Structures are given as structure tokens and as C-alpha cells.
Amino acid sequence: MAQRRYVFKIAPNPGQDATVIVDELKRREVGTIGLLHVDNVYGQEGQKSVADEAAKAGIKVAADEQFGQADTNMAVQVSKIVAAKPDAVVVWAVMPAAGIIVKALKDAKYPGPIYLDAGAGAELFVKGTGEAAEGTNMVFPRILATGEIDTTTPTGAAQKKWVDAYQAAYGQYSGFASFAGDALQVIVDR
């Protein structure tokens, strides 16, 4: 173990994402939420984190549904969420499931805001979800909005250089590349 003295975790924990989402729900005076999450450890940790943070904030979970990561039809779960008439819906999943859920919520004419954790945050969300992505809210580092990077600061200039180099090499920017790049930078700076 002497060779492996360090462990780096750059991506946010479920509790950190949940805190940001619930803070925004409080700011918007949301009283009830529907919660849709994938049925694996990732989704279970997200579900627990959101439910715990919501309870602390006095926000009621009106409906809580789970689905399989490989599921392609979540109409049953979505109909149960919509029937509960929550003020907002929180989706905890990676692509393509996150996109399928958002599309299903829009198809079901769910009128409220939709919040997604960082797991949905890849270029595939926007591409895979299309117009249904309009108006959704996602927790993710600012770098995902590559066109809005302020290049007048050293950090912004470095981020823009990173995004441009990544896009030149791979064609499109992946939101998860930021975490990998930060992890490498931690090691290089060591």
C-alpha cells in the first residue's frame, strides 16, 4: 500500500447534489416533490440524500418511484408521479434513463419543474432528450455550459483551453471529462 497513498474523488457525492437541488426547491417555495430514481446503489444513495434533505427543509416526497437503468419505458412510474401532483420532480439517473424519464414527464404533460442530478450531465442528455430538455434544471459544474466560460480569468482561460482541446480530440465535450481532467490535474500538481 505504500505505493498507493492517495485516493482522489473529484465528482460530487449524492449528498452534495441533493443539498444543491433542495436549496433550489426551497428558494422556489416547493412544498412537494416526486422522486424518480434508478434502482441501483447510485439511485438508492440519491434517493436517500434527496429524501433526507427534503425532510429537513419541510418538503414532502409525494411519490417515490424507481426504475431499471436499462428500462426504455417508464410510463407506469411517471404516471404515478404525475398522479401525485407534486410541485416539482427530481430525477436521479444517468443517461439514457434520465432522458427517457424527462421525455415521459413532458409527454404526460407534467406542468412543474424537473430537476436532475449530475449523473444526467453529459452532452448525451441534451442530444438524447431534445426539446424535452428545455426548462429542466441540472446540478453540474459550470464548465458544462462551455459557451458561457468567462475566459478573462486564469481559471476560465484554462477551462476553455481544456474544452477546446477535448472537442478537437473527441468531437464533442462530455460533462464527465471535467472530473477526469481535474483528477489528472490533482496528480500532476502533486
| Per-residue pLDDT tens over the stretch 13-37 | 788 889 999 999 999 999 999 999 9
Indicate if the pLDDT at residue 143 is higher than 60: yes
- Which pLDDT score, from 0 to 100, does residue 12 have? 76
Indicate if the pLDDT at residue 168 is higher than 60: yes
- Which pLDDT score, from 0 to 100, does residue 187 have? 75
Long-range contacts of 127-133 (CB under 8 A, 24+ apart): 128/95, 128/96, 128/99, 129/98, 129/99, 129/102, 129/103, 130/103, 132/99, 132/102, 132/103, 132/105, 132/106, 132/107, 133/99, 133/102
User: Residues 102-128: pLDDT tens digits?
Assistant: 899 999 999 999 998 887 776 655 566
Domain residue spans in the chain? Answer: 14-140, 143-189
CATH, range 14-140: 3.40.50.2300
Beta sheet of 32-38, edge-to-edge order: 60-67, 32-38, 88-92, 114-116, 137-138
- Which pLDDT score, from 0 to 100, does residue 132 have? 66
Torsion angle of alpha carbons 174, 19, 23, 157, nearest 10°? -40
- Rounded Cα–Cα distance for residues 98 and 9 (Å): 23
In this structure, are residues 175 and 121 in contact, taking their beta carbons and an 8 Å threshold?
Answer: yes
Average model confidence (pLDDT) for the chain? 85
In this structure, are residues 117 and 46 in contact, taking their beta carbons and an 8 Å threshold?
Answer: yes
What is the SS3 assignment for 24? helix
- Which pLDDT score, from 0 to 100, does residue 83 have? 97
- Which pLDDT score, from 0 to 100, does residue 190 have? 65
- Rounded Cα–Cα distance for residues 12 and 175 (Å): 13
Indicate if the pLDDT at residue 41 is higher than 90: yes
Number of Cβ atoms within 10 Å of the Cβ of 175: 21
- Which pLDDT score, from 0 to 100, does residue 180 have? 76
Q: What is the share, in percent, of the chain residues with pLDDT greater than 90? A: 43
As a whole number of Å, the CA-based R_g of the chain is: 18
What is the SS3 assignment for 66? strand
* Confidence grade of residue 155 (pLDDT, cut at 50, 70, 90): confident
Which triple of cell numbers denotes residue 53? 434533505
Indicate if the pLDDT at residue 8 is higher than 70: no
Mean pLDDT over residues 127-152, rounded?
71
In this structure, are residues 131 and 108 in contact, taking their beta carbons and an 8 Å threshold?
Answer: no
* Confidence grade of residue 7 (pLDDT, cut at 50, 70, 90): low
- Which pLDDT score, from 0 to 100, does residue 174 have? 74
